[in-house]
A and B are shown apart, each in its own frame.
Chain A
C-alpha cells in the first residue's frame, strides 16, 4: 500500500469512528447542532421585528423586513453548516491530560482533531440541508440559483475550516490557561457582531465595512450568506483573503502546538 493510501485509511477510519461516537447519543447531537442556531434565529427575528416596527418607513438601509429575514434564514443555514464545532472537548483533553494517548499514536493530534471536525461537519451539512428543505417547503426561503448553491457551499466549507482553525487555536490555549471558555465566549461574541451574523455589514459605517473585509470576520457569515443569496459581484478577492486567513491561523496553530507541547505535563497520569 502506498503512503498516501495508508494515510487515507487512517483518516477515513477516524471519521467513521467519530460518526459512530457522535451518533451514539443522537438526540444529544441534534440538540447540540440545531439548538443554539435555532434559538439565536428566533432572538434575531424578534429583535428585527421590534426594530422595523419602531422604525419610520419600510426599509432600513434599503432592506425590507422580509429581505432582512431572508438574510437571517441563510445566516441560520450557514451557521448550521459550519458554526457548530467548538473546542470545548479539545481544551478539556489538554487540561486533564487526555491528549497523552494521542501523543503515543502514530497519528498526529491535529489530524485526529481535523477528522473529528470533518465527521461533525458532514453530519451538520445533512442537518442544514433538511432544515433548508423544511424552510423552503414552508415558503420562508427561496431556492438559490445553481451558481448560488455552488459558491455558497464552497464559501461555507472554507469558512468552516477557518472556524475550525480558530476554535483549535482557542482550545490550544489550555496549554497555558486553566479555563478557556472565556476565550471561546469572547470569540463567539466578537465574531457574531463583526461577521454580519446579527447585522448585515451594509448597516455598518462604510469605512468599517471596508476594513472588515480584510479581517477574518465577514468570511464567517456575511460572504457565505451573500453567495447563497446570489449577490456575488466580488468572488476572487474574498476567496483569496479567506484562504490567506486559513493559512495564517493554521501556521499559528502549528506554532502554538509546538510551544504548548513543551509546557505539557500530562496531568492526571
Chain B
C-alpha cells in the first residue's frame, strides 16, 4: 500500500550572520547549507494498518508525510502509495488519499463547514446519497450536528478539528495521513478525537499514518510504531517491542514523608529522577532487581507510597533522545 525505497529529501537554505553587517555581507556572499531531512528511508505499510511516526522536532516525520502525499518532491529514492508515485499528483491518486493537518486548516475560514463539505463533495465526485449518509454518520459520531452551519472562524479549536476530520473523510479515502491531529487540544478533546479515529478504523479498515508529539495518541491508536531520528529510521515494530528496547526495565516510583538527600551514596549508582522538592523519586531498574531494591528502600527510608510500572513509551522515547543527542546525532 505504501512503499519507500532509499527515500531521501534535502532542503537548501542560506546561512546569514546576525545583525546589520551580516545582512550587508549576505548581499554579496551567502553560504548555502544543505539539510538532509530524510535519509535513505525504507518503509512498507500494509492495507488497514495504523502506523505511528514518532520522533523529536525536526526528525523528518512531516517531510515523510509531505512526500507520501505528493506535496513535495523527493530528492532521491522511490516512494509509491496505492501504486502511484505521489509527486505525479495524478487526480486518481488524490481521490484516494486524505491529509489532516493539525496546524493547518483545509476548511474555508469565513463560511460554514457545510459549504466546504459541498465543495469537497464535488471535488471528489461523491454521489448525493452517499454524501448525505456520510455527513450524517460522521456528524453523529463526532457530535457536531449543531456546528455544521456555523462560520468556521467562530468555532473552538477542538470543534474545528472535528470538522477538519470530517472534511478529510467525505470521500472515504483509502489512506489517511494525520499530521499531529490532536495538537493544541485539551485532554477531553484529544480523547474524543482518538476514540473517533479508532471507531472509524474499526468500521472502515482504512490505512492510517499518524504523526504526533503526544505518546498517548500513539499508544491509543497505533499498532505499529516507526521511530525517526535525524531523518533515519531507528525502530520499526509494534509498541510492546518498543517499550522493551531499553531492556526489560521498570520504573519504581516512591513518595516519601519528608524530603531526602539526593546526594545520599545509596542513590549514586541508580538511574534516578527526583521531583516534588526531593519528596518523589522515580528509579529505572532492571525488572529482576526490583523486589530487592524495593525492600531496601521500604526499610531504610520513610516511604509514604510506592508503585511500579513498565517503562512508559514516553520515558523510552526521552531516554533514546538523550542518548541520541549525547552521541552527537549518530545512530544509536
Contacts and interface: CB of A to CB of B under 8 A. Distances in A.
Contact of A97 (B65, B99, B104): B104
Contacts of A6: 122, 125
Contact of B103 (A17, A25, A106, A269): A269
Contacts of A20: 111, 115
A97 B104 CA distance: 9
Q: Is the interface of A mostly helix, strand, loop or mixed?
A: helix
Interface string B62-92: 1001100111110000000000000001010
Nearest to B13: A265
A105 B123 contact: yes
Contact of B71 (A100, A106, A107): A100
A205 interface: no
Contacts of A105: 94, 120, 123
A104 B69 contact: yes
Contact of B110 (A1, A21, A98, A262): A21
A97 B62 CA distance: 13
Contact of A266 (B66, B108, B124): B66
A60 to B, nearest CB: 45
B111 A21 contact: yes
Interface string A220-261: 000000000000000000000000000000000000000001
A98 B104 contact: yes
Contacts of B119: 13-14, 17
Interface in B149-191: 151, 179
A269 B62 contact: yes
Given A17-B111, A97-B104, A268-B104, A104 B73 contact: no
B95 interface: yes
Interface residues of B, number: 34
B101 interface: yes
B89 A107 contact: no
A113 B108 CA distance: 14
A103 B125 contact: no
Contacts of B65: 269
Contacts of A13: 118-119, 122
A118 B65 CA distance: 33
B252 interface: no
B193 interface: no
A10 interface: yes
B71 A104 contact: yes
Contacts of A1: 125
B177 to A, nearest CB: 9
A94 to B, nearest CB: 12
Contact of A265 (B11, B106, B115, B179): B11
Contacts of A21: 108, 110-111
B82 to A, nearest CB: 14
A264 interface: yes
A97 B70 CA distance: 14
Contacts of B66: 100, 266, 269
A103 B115 CA distance: 20
Contacts of B73: 261-262
Interface string A91-133: 0000001101101111100000000000000000000000000
A106 B118 contact: no
A17 to B, nearest CB: 5
Interface string B37-67: 0000000000000000000000000100110
Contacts of A104: 69-71, 94, 97-99, 106
Contacts of B110: 21, 24-25
Contact of A269 (B91, B122, B179): B179
Contacts of A262: 73
B285 to A, nearest CB: 41
A106 B91 contact: yes
A51 interface: no
A98 B101 CA distance: 11
Contacts of B103: 268-269
15 contacts: A9-B122, A10-B123, A13-B119, A17-B118, A20-B111, A21-B111, A24-B151, A97-B104, A101-B101, A104-B94, A104-B106, A106-B95, A264-B72, A269-B62, A269-B65
Interface of A: 1, 6, 9-10, 13-14, 17, 20-21, 24-25, 97-98, 100-101, 103-107, 261-262, 264-266, 268-269
List of 3 A-B pairs having minimum Cβ-Cβ separation, nearest first: A106-B94, A106-B91, A101-B106
Interface of B: 11, 62, 65-66, 69-73, 89, 91, 94-95, 97-99, 101, 103-104, 106, 108, 110-111, 115-116, 118-120, 122-125, 151, 179
